[in-house]
Amino acid sequence: MTVREQVLFIDDEKHIRQANKQTLELAELNVILEACAEKGLDHLSRDWPGIVVCDIRLPNMDGLQFLQEVHKIDHDLPVILITGHGDISTAVNAMRDGAYDFIEKPYSPERLVKTVVRGLEKRVLTLENRNLRRELELHSAPGPRIIGRTPAMEKLRSTIAQVADTGADVLVLGETGTGKELVARALHENSARRSNNFVAINCGAVSESIMESELFGHEAGAFTDAKSTRIGKFEHANGGTLLLDEIESMPLRVQINLLRVLQERYIERLGSNRTIPVDLRVVAASKVDLREASERGVFREDLYYRLNVVCLEIPPLRNRREDIPLLFHHFLLVAGHRYQQEVPAPNSFQMNALLSYSWPGNVRELRNFAERYVLLGRQFDWSLEKMLSGEDKVQSRSLSQQVDCFERGLIEHALVSSNGSIKDVMAALVIPRKTLYDKMRKHGLDKTDYK
């Protein structure tokens, strides 16, 4: 249990309320007392982090009526009923209607505490599962899937929101594994094109001999083995978005044809003289500087300027190290749900290891790392000696920079894990409230961003 969980105890007799409050507080539980069920309802909400212990026999609204009202707020909120001997059959029926458990008078303090703790554990699990579902819904819902709170990522999200529905072609630059396809999908899903196809092709994975057929399609008999008509990527993306990943790998001959499509917005299938109009947005992604590539003569300069209407640059993970705790927590939740595994919480040593590594594979490497951690559990090797050896180890940051980054990462991880609860963060980091607020202010952290 943490300091967030609460027990609402409802009984109309003052001495019973006080005695049970003392019992529960000795078990280090937070207790709220109410003399009537009506006032008890005022404390409850769908995300209330606690359970209710309520006497069946109460004036006005009794325990059974109270149970029905609680279910209207949250059917999964555990309600433990206190019964006299004559109410046992009633309590059993109430459990069939959704009560968590009942305690028969007279009961021992141990019986009360054991039942309450079991109910709180169920409540914690319920709320954690709900938070996970929210995370997964956000992960799969239309809109930006770009996670991070560093200035570079805030700027990236802002630019995506600004240009997403304009239809302008976009150039996305970033190292391998930074999330270029996610940016392209965010542009597509935040535009009026979202109901049409999002089509991705990796230009580096298609041989030059079939590149034109892949993009433009072909008619039957256009070349050997072309036995039937084939729709190309341009046509398939008509009305939607086409992602040309690793466009720096596109052959120069095909680049000429691409430039014509971007300018004229029509295509011709191989083996056909008929022009087909296409309405699509092109997002080109590259891991190299295309301007430099054009100066070296391996990428057409006119195509570069045609693509570079809007340029979105994704920073490598090593340059936004403060986002690592948030990203890692997110990937743990997704992997835990995918593999139906318990999600282990990393400790301070492990978080320091994450923050100290340069992540040459960027966000993709961090995601794979999180999946291995979830799958292997206690058998996972956190020494990271191999990862932290040689050039991968961070050496260019000063001691104060590394300390600040580590401190910010720990606080942010605690905020994420506790859904922004300052009390939980204080308990997890063993830090006074004022010191915590001072450090949050120093690092630009706001608890409301994590709820």
pLDDT value of residue 31: 95
* Token couple for 313: 């640059």
pLDDT value of residue 383: 60
Which helix or strand (DSSP H or E) is residue 220 part of? none
pTM of this prediction?
0.59
Band the pLDDT of 390: cuts 50, 70, 90. very low
My answer on whether 280 and 159 are in the same domain is yes
Which helix or strand (DSSP H or E) is residue 31 part of? strand 30-34
* Between residues 386 and 170, the one the model is more confident about: 170
pLDDT value of residue 357: 85
pLDDT value of residue 134: 64
CB-based burial label for 342 (10 Å; 0-12, 13-18, 19+): exposed
* Residue 1 domain flag: no
My answer on whether 35 and 133 are in the same domain is yes
Q: What is the CATH number of the domain that holds 446?
A: 1.10.8.60
Per residue in 104-115, pLDDT (tens digit) is 988 999 999 999
Q: Which of 235, 242, 240 is nearest to 266 (CA)?
A: 235
CB-based burial label for 398 (10 Å; 0-12, 13-18, 19+): exposed
Lowest-pLDDT range of 76-85, 191-200, 319-328, 439-448: 439-448
My answer on whether 102 and 170 are in the same domain is no
* Token couple for 121: 């554990």
Percent of the chain with pLDDT over 70: 90
Q: Which of 397, 250, 241, 386 is nearest to 322 (CA)?
A: 397
Q: What is the mean pLDDT of the chain?
A: 86
My answer on whether 19 and 109 are in the same domain is yes
Band the pLDDT of 389: cuts 50, 70, 90. very low
Per residue in 232-290, pLDDT (tens digit) is 999 999 999 999 999 999 999 999 999 999 999 999 999 999 999 999 999 999 999 99
My answer on whether 155 and 276 are in the same domain is yes
* Token couple for 439: 């450090």
* Residue 132 domain flag: yes
Residue type, position 9, single letter = F
Q: Which strands sit side by side in the sheet containing 241-245, from one edge to the other?
A: 198-202, 241-245, 281-286, 170-173, 310-313
From residue 181, alpha-carbon distances to 174, 282, 334 in Å are 10, 12, 18
My answer on whether 441 and 388 are in the same domain is yes
Query: Is residue 165 scored above 60 in pLDDT?
Result: yes
Helix then strand count (H, E) for the chain reads: 18, 14
> Considering its fold, how many domains does the chain have in total?
3
Residue type, position 110, single letter = E
Write down which residue in 139, 167, 199 finishes a domain: 139
Query: Is residue 226 scored above 90 in pLDDT?
Result: no
Write down which residue in 315, 348, 365 finishes a domain: 315
Q: What is the CATH number of the domain that holds 290?
A: 3.40.50.300
* Residue 290 domain flag: yes
Question: Could you give the CA distance from residue 80 to residue 117 in angstroms, rounded to a whole number?
Answer: 11
pLDDT value of residue 44: 93
Query: Is residue 333 scored above 50 in pLDDT?
Result: yes
Which helix or strand (DSSP H or E) is residue 201 part of? strand 198-202
Q: Which of 131, 4, 1 is nearest to 423 (CA)?
A: 4
Q: What is the CATH number of the domain that holds 41?
A: 3.40.50.2300
Helices 14-26, 109-140: inter-axial angle, 10-degree rounding: 70
Cβ 413 vs Cβ 445: under 8 Å: no
* DSSP one-letter string for 264-328: H-EEE-BT---EEE---EEEEEESS-HHHHHHTTSS-HHHHHHHTTEEEEPPPGGG-GGGHHHHH
Helices 362-376, 324-339: inter-axial angle, 10-degree rounding: 50
Percent of the chain with pLDDT over 90: 52
pLDDT value of residue 4: 65
Per residue in 124-162, pLDDT (tens digit) is 888 877 776 665 555 454 444 688 888 899 899 999 989
My answer on whether 171 and 187 are in the same domain is yes
Could you identify the residue written with the tokens 């555990």? 78
My answer on whether 12 and 56 are in the same domain is yes
Question: Could you give the CA distance from residue 177 to residue 367 in angstroms, rounded to a whole number?
Answer: 10
Residue 286: count of CB within 10 angstroms of its CB: 23
Q: Which strands sit side by side in the sheet containing 101-104, from one edge to the other?
A: 30-34, 6-10, 50-55, 79-83, 101-104
pLDDT value of residue 110: 94
Which helix or strand (DSSP H or E) is residue 35 part of? none
My answer on whether 310 and 175 are in the same domain is yes
Q: Determine how β-strand 281-286 pairs with β-strand 170-173.
A: parallel
Question: Could you give the CA distance from residue 258 to residue 248 in angstroms, rounded to a whole number?
Answer: 13
Question: Could you give the CA distance from residue 194 to residue 143 in angstroms, rounded to a whole number?
Answer: 10
* Residue 57 domain flag: yes
My answer on whether 237 and 377 are in the same domain is no
Per residue in 403-425, pLDDT (tens digit) is 777 777 778 778 877 778 888 88
* Residue 286 domain flag: yes
User: Residue 367's domain spans which residues?
Assistant: 318-450
* Residue 297 domain flag: yes
Strand-pair partners of 241 = 198, 281
* Residue 146 domain flag: no
Per residue in 57-96, pLDDT (tens digit) is 999 999 999 999 999 999 999 999 998 877 778 878 888 8
* Token couple for 381: 């090797």
My answer on whether 34 and 120 are in the same domain is yes
* Residue 28 domain flag: yes
Write down which residue in 77, 105, 139 finishes a domain: 139
My answer on whether 243 and 185 are in the same domain is yes
